[in-house]
Amino acid sequence: MYYPKKIENKYGDILYINSSFVDYQDHYDSRKPIVLKFAYPIELPFYDFEFSFVHDSHFIYLNQKSKKLIPPISTNGYIESSIIVFCLMDRNEKYYLMVKDKYKKFLTCPGGSKQSIQESFLDCAIRELYEETSIRCNQLREFGTFSHKHSMFSMNMNGLTKVYYGQMNVNKHQLQQIKNYTNEEIEKVILVSSSQLDTILKSKSILEYKFYRHHVVYMKYMDMYYKKLNYDWIKDIEPEFRSELFLY
């Protein structure tokens, strides 16, 4: 009897890799998300594992807990997602939204993966903006797309993300409500003023948090676009990072 190699990350997610036969009932815990990865298809005579997809020439089986955590994979093999560069305008000041996920070390723009293959990128953006910030806005404009690697259960999968822009006028009370928003996923909402963008791009953190630099570059890009100014600031960014704009 051969047991597969076990990999467990800091979140408690478990990946079992390769076995000619698995007798798994003695140590199966349905409360944990578990992925089985095999070099060939097998019959799984236990519990709630189902074949889900092929990755890196291996057959991936998921239990019900892990199926809820892995986003749907499109027919072209991508995990598809949306992010939103969102601007709050309070009289003469403009603020861009960033969120701190409870399970991530970095600040990001609001966003996330599609809930189903049928969900459009725009619908995904509208939903994620509301879920992560409490803001309802159907008037979002697409202005960029980039591809990347999406890491799930120690597997690097292809990701495709569309970038959207939106804005709304707010008063001081609304601004404070948004800033104080939290839920089971979002630890904190950060407001980044337009005047802070240049300083932040030259730094490595916002307050005590690290951040995804290309997300802040998108903020700067849209800030300059709507001011109808030139784009000389982009020349000051190192070439390898400038290429991360991916706007086309």
> Which CATH number goes with the domain that contains 158?
3.90.79.10
Whether residues 91 and 51 share a domain: the answer is: no
In the prediction, which pLDDT does 234 show?
Answer: 44
Single pTM value for the model: 0.75
Q: Is residue 72 part of a domain?
A: no
Per-residue pLDDT of the chain (248 residues; tens, 9 = 90+): 444 566 666 555 566 655 443 444 445 566 777 777 777 777 765 567 777 777 777 888 888 777 777 888 887 888 999 999 999 988 878 899 999 988 778 899 999 999 998 999 999 999 999 999 999 999 898 888 888 887 777 778 888 999 999 989 999 899 999 999 999 999 999 999 888 888 888 887 777 788 888 888 888 877 776 665 444 444 444 444 444 444 33
In the prediction, which pLDDT does 235 show?
Answer: 47
Strands 58-62 and 50-55: antiparallel
Whether residues 121 and 224 share a domain: the answer is: yes
Q: Looking at 67, 97, 118, which one is the last position of a domain?
A: 67
Inter-residue contact 131 to 218 (CB < 8 Å): no
Domain range enclosing 39: 5-67
Whether residues 159 and 36 share a domain: the answer is: no
Q: Is residue 214 part of a domain?
A: yes
Q: CA-CA distance, 146 to 115, in Å (whole number)?
A: 19
Total of domains in the chain: 2
Q: What is the DSSP code string of 205-245?
A: -BTTBEE-HHHHHHHHHHHHHHHT---GGGGGS-HHHHGGG
